[in-house]
A and B are shown apart, each in its own frame.
Chain A
Amino acid sequence: MSTGAGAASGTGTGRGGGTGTGTSGGSRERILARIRAAVADAPDAPEAARDYLETHTPDERVIDLLAENLADYRALVHRTDSEGLPTLIARLLAERGARTVLVPPLLPAFWLSALSSVGTDLIRVEDDPTATARELDVVDSVITGCALAIAETGTLVLDAAPDQGRRRITLVPDHHICVVRTADQVVGSVPQAMPLLDPTRPLTWISGPSATSDIELDRVEGVHGPRTLEVILLTE
């Protein structure tokens, strides 16, 4: 199809310590030739029909279902309006005992406008692209927005927009507060989410706090990601 892409692969980088123009290039052609031979006589296989449901959830149920499914996987769910948001955030940080809070580059200013009301020693840490993982590891909490949320699966999707920041800032701290605007950021189902997401951005789908099923196939919350996930459902 395109020999141009082939020429770029494995050879056009100038790094990688000579991973083998010869071997990699030769293997590319060999693998593609083997595939063509393998399926030469195979029956036609048309593209799949998308006759499954676009959603399983009526619109009026979407916000409540999101809250239920988030809670079912042990996220702590709060609801408030714009007026109540600053004090709710301040209260959650105070209850957590956070001394430092990490913020992405462009958080709406009013979200953090009540921090001073709960104590003067809470330090706001701006994400610095040069900050090392070790520096992030000493921060107590992080606050972000999200790209969207999916009710049926209890999922928040982050796309590293300026109100969410780099992927690592919602990973290394142990406490994540995520604000979801219910008016325009919640969809019912996964198929409804896909056209709204931009795959050229790095995407992180979060469904509850870090967990594992590796000990006797039983779900236990809290391994490497934030062990406490708080979700604020923000109404107008």
Chain B
Amino acid sequence: MSGTYLGMPAFPVAAKEAVGNETLRGNLRHATHTIRDKRAKAVAELDDWALLREAGKRIKDHTLRHLDRYLVRLEESVTAAGGVVHWAADADEANRIVAELVKATGETEVVKVKSMATQEIGLNEALEAEGISAYETDLAELIVQLGDDRPSHILVPAIHRNRGEIRDIFRDRMGAWGRPAPDGLSDTPGELAEAARLHLREKFLRAKVGISGANFMVAETGTLVVFESEGNGRMCLTLPETLISVVGIEKVVPSWRDLEVFLQTLPRSSTAERMNPYTSMWTGTHDADGPSTFHLVLLDNGRTNTLADEVGRQALRCIRCSACLNVCPVYERAGGHAYGSVYPGPIGAILSPQLRGIQSEIDASLPYASSLCGACYDVCPVAIDIPEVLVHLRERVADQGGKGHRLEKAAMKAAGWVFDHPRVMAAGERAASKTRRLHPSKLPGAGAWTDSRDLPELPPESFRDWWKKHHNDRKDTGT
């Protein structure tokens, strides 16, 4: 991935480009609608879903409240199991630690499991600057890397590409990175997957260093967990001699049994499956099975700042399932790139400005990239109240900017973009009514004129809904 987020235009500019791109919009609509129906079905199979969701929320809240204690416990457990634990305060430090660990092995290439944390810190670019080639092995990440592109979705980073585009990228670019695509490659998903299998296999078989993230880390046992589908994760986690895992500090859970909650909620929320094809769990190093050297790099990079915000800290509960992206009317139309971050969609709109701070135009505009419709909150398996955090962050943007400030302007443009898209607004109004208690009585960032007056209370239903219902009632009664 050579695309960069530095100097990204604020949300409305990037979103406008995306909306003009018919192919992109079609790809996104198709993919998100497919997955959201499947998710609803997978969730409906568990009649205790609400209790599992509440348990997931509480496990995360409890862990975050005592994060220092559980990280120290994790460090003890991992160390006792033969792993080495490192602590990185920011992206630069994490990248430096990983680069030095790789160099110490004498290797110049690594295979990677898809990991949000390593994307967040720009690890591939940092390794490249040190003369180390990092090969992404997740199919979607491979598509992004070969296409010299940026990821646009947490789970499926190449969601903005359709099968025809993927075929073209494989045909044109695979040869430059290793084994070329087979002659006459078609655009059927099966053939594309086969091409990726052949291309990556030689890299797996010779790899000496693997780099991963982790979905969960268990403090009690020192166990790390990676959920995946393709088997590229298993390849990277078991074939190399050295494994380096870079994991955000908020990924720890206290006990082994805590996993039973997320093992039920994450796959159903994420790929809408009862269970993803492969989940790997390892605890330090295991004799003659898998890597003989294991390093864990614990990453802060803005997480402790987020933890200090009493409303915003709930974003650290996120288990990166991406269900909120798939139901979001703004994401569906604007696409992932518009969010200017590896974390797009509703969760990105509250996570990126907190991890990076709200000093840039893109980060100040992100809390406004929403109609507050609340669909994200409804599907979140750890009950993050994303609309609540968005409103809170809008207040923070307004407070630091002041009238006419460039950040305020960026924010207002993002809000304007949402207002300019009627179907986005329609979804927003419906839920704005459902979430009435959350809305501030003063409009943040709207300048001096609102200070002297309160916002009108939201009516229990929007005009659109009232009209539709009224209209239908009339039809039903034949009047």
Instruction: Report, nearest first, the 5 A-B pairs whose CB atoms are least far apart.
Output: A225-B231, A48-B58, A224-B231, A17-B104, A38-B308
Interface residues on B, range: 35 or more
Known: A153-B274, A215-B189, A217-B35. 4 other contacts (CB 8 A): A5-B85, A23-B96, A48-B57, A215-B166
**With A19-B97, A35-B68, A216-B189 known to touch, is A134 a contact of B229 (CB < 8 Å)?**
no
Q: Which of B154-162, B356-364, B453-461 contacts A (4 or more CB under 8 A)?
A: B154-162
Partner of A214, one of B27, B84, B103, B138: B138
B62 A210 Cβ-Cβ under 8 A: no
- Say how far B160's CB is from chain A's closest CB, in angstroms: 11
A16 B79 Cβ-Cβ under 8 A: no
Whole-angstrom distance between the alpha carbons of A223 and B200 in the complex?
Answer: 10
B277 A211 Cβ-Cβ under 8 A: yes
Q: Which residues of B contact A199 (CB under 8 A)?
A: 218, 221, 223, 256, 281, 283
**With A9-B86, A160-B289 known to touch, is A222 a contact of B194 (CB < 8 Å)?**
yes
- Binary CB contact string for chain B from 426 to 439 against chain A (1 if under 8 A, 0 otherwise): 00000000000000
Partner of A48, one of B62, B230, B286, B288: B62
Interface of B is mostly: helix
- Binary CB contact string for chain A from 198 to 217 against chain B (1 if under 8 A, 0 otherwise): 01111111111111111111
Q: Which residues of A contact B84 (CB under 8 A)?
A: 9-10, 12-13, 16
Q: Which residues of B contact A45 (CB under 8 A)?
A: 58, 61-62, 64-66
Q: Which residues of B contact A109 (CB under 8 A)?
A: none
Q: Which residues of B contact A220 (CB under 8 A)?
A: 189-190, 193
Q: Is A8 an interface residue (CB 8 A)?
A: yes
- Binary CB contact string for chain A from 122 to 157 against chain B (1 if under 8 A, 0 otherwise): 000000010011100100000000000010111100
Interface of A is mostly: loop
Q: Is A39 an interface residue (CB 8 A)?
A: yes
- Say how far A1's CB is from chain B's closest CB, in angstroms: 5
Q: Which residues of A contact B446 (CB under 8 A)?
A: none
Whole-angstrom distance between the alpha carbons of A182 and B47 in the complex?
Answer: 26
B87 A52 Cβ-Cβ under 8 A: no
Q: Is B140 an interface residue (CB 8 A)?
A: yes
**What number of A-B contacts does a CB cutoff of 8 Å give?**
318
Q: Which residues of A contact B261 (CB under 8 A)?
A: 48, 52
Q: Is A28 an interface residue (CB 8 A)?
A: yes
Whole-angstrom distance between the alpha carbons of A213 and B96 in the complex?
Answer: 33
- Say how far B9's CB is from chain A's closest CB, in angstroms: 27
A24 B86 Cβ-Cβ under 8 A: yes
A47 B278 Cβ-Cβ under 8 A: no
Tell me the residues in window 286-313 of chain B with beta carbons closer than 8 Å to chain A beta carbons: 286, 288-290, 293, 295, 298, 300, 304-305, 307-308, 310, 313
Q: Is A218 an interface residue (CB 8 A)?
A: yes
- Binary CB contact string for chain A from 1 to 28 against chain B (1 if under 8 A, 0 otherwise): 1100110111011011111100111011
* B interface, CB within 8 angstroms of A: 27, 30-32, 34-35, 45-48, 51-52, 54-59, 61-62, 64-69, 71-73, 75-76, 79, 81, 84-89, 93, 96-97, 100-101, 103-104, 137-140, 143, 155-156, 158-159, 162-163, 166, 189-190, 192-194, 196-197, 200-201, 204-205, 218, 221, 223, 229-232, 234-235, 238-239, 249, 254, 256-261, 263-264, 267, 271, 273-283, 286, 288-290, 293, 295, 298, 300, 304-305, 307-308, 310, 313
**With A8-B79, A52-B261, A205-B275 known to touch, is A137 a contact of B205 (CB < 8 Å)?**
yes
Choose among A15, A37, A134 the residue with the greatest number of B CB atoms under 10 Å from its CB. Answer: A15
Give the residue name and chain of the B residue nearest to A37 (CB). B308
Q: Is A78 an interface residue (CB 8 A)?
A: no
Q: Which residues of B contact A183 (CB under 8 A)?
A: none
Q: Is A95 an interface residue (CB 8 A)?
A: no
* A interface, CB within 8 angstroms of B: 1-2, 5-6, 8-10, 12-13, 15-20, 23-25, 27-28, 30-32, 34-39, 41-53, 56, 69, 73, 129, 132-134, 137, 150, 152-155, 160, 166-168, 171, 190-191, 193-195, 199-220, 222-226
Whole-angstrom distance between the alpha carbons of A17 and B103 in the complex?
Answer: 8
Whole-angstrom distance between the alpha carbons of A154 and B140 in the complex?
Answer: 25
Q: Which residues of B contact A213 (CB under 8 A)?
A: 35, 155-156, 229, 271
